[in-house]
Structure 1
């Protein structure tokens, strides 16, 4: 998406401030990618969104698909957050933030870095589950046969919900949830909720960015919540 730049002349001090701000911000985000453990029970999408808002002191925000300009009235520039064929959403910046005529691509570089961080995290999840000894991958058409209710049950399994909890959320009987869960297992060729979750992530049946995060327990072991 093309950015909307002001034609006003930017003072030299502001130019330098924008470059220095971007250099510091880039370093913080790269450090975040390498060292940060996601917050318990918080989606990856929200984790990165919160971190960017904190680093920029609320002057930059991530807006996910489906995107509408009405949700970002405080921003005057938007850059697409895309990695190859995957568009995650848009990066919005408030007026004057990271504006530099000498370096007009800072905002685009910022958005591209956000996309790289998201893709990097996707690969982390993929490698983690591959290393856990996944069974051979399913044919794509098998995954596409999941019904809407089976996908809803799969989301419940990812959240660690019991049949009773899913029944209350979906407004159906626990026995009906149990039936859908058994059908889901057969379609995915798995035998447990954990194996179903692995299938979910590797096949992107559910967008992992809205799913549970990995966290580290007191023994230093990685778990899924």
Structure 2
């Protein structure tokens, strides 16, 4: 009887050991899947928030290149003593390209603003990771708006210089005057959007800090519970 009992105990121990050895590989395989899932979600979240920023960035580069062409054309004409009125058609073509790009940028900015408004109506980000990505997006938008403001400012200075030269020659360009007013209006809009973007970035930063603080407090509570359980 004793031999049979020992035999049964040994069999039970062997079965338990085998079951544990089978469960461990499954657990090890499941963990990477969770990590991969979180990584994919993070990339998708970050990517969706940066698509428009990348497009606006490209449009800004195109705008700067065209503006540089326009300035070089003006400089060459002045160096050679050529009347700027003879470049009227070329200047209009370049200005048309700049206006088209401005319209695209405005449309993209409007889309970003609408998305942010919709997001703000929803619940706040649930994880620190989402909050960090949201903050990164806000910082990117602030950077883009700042660059746009500097570009508009340079264009305004260049246009005012052209108008002064025209005035000395007794030439008045209604087109340039209208363009200058439009630039001033655009600068005002960009400054307003920049202020709002900075405000959103600050709010997001505070949210990240609050989320991290809450997580730290939760960890402290869990640690205390573990200590009390050990005692």
TM value normalised by structure 2: 0.29
Greater share of residues in helix: 2
Return the index of the structure with the highest Cα Rg: 2
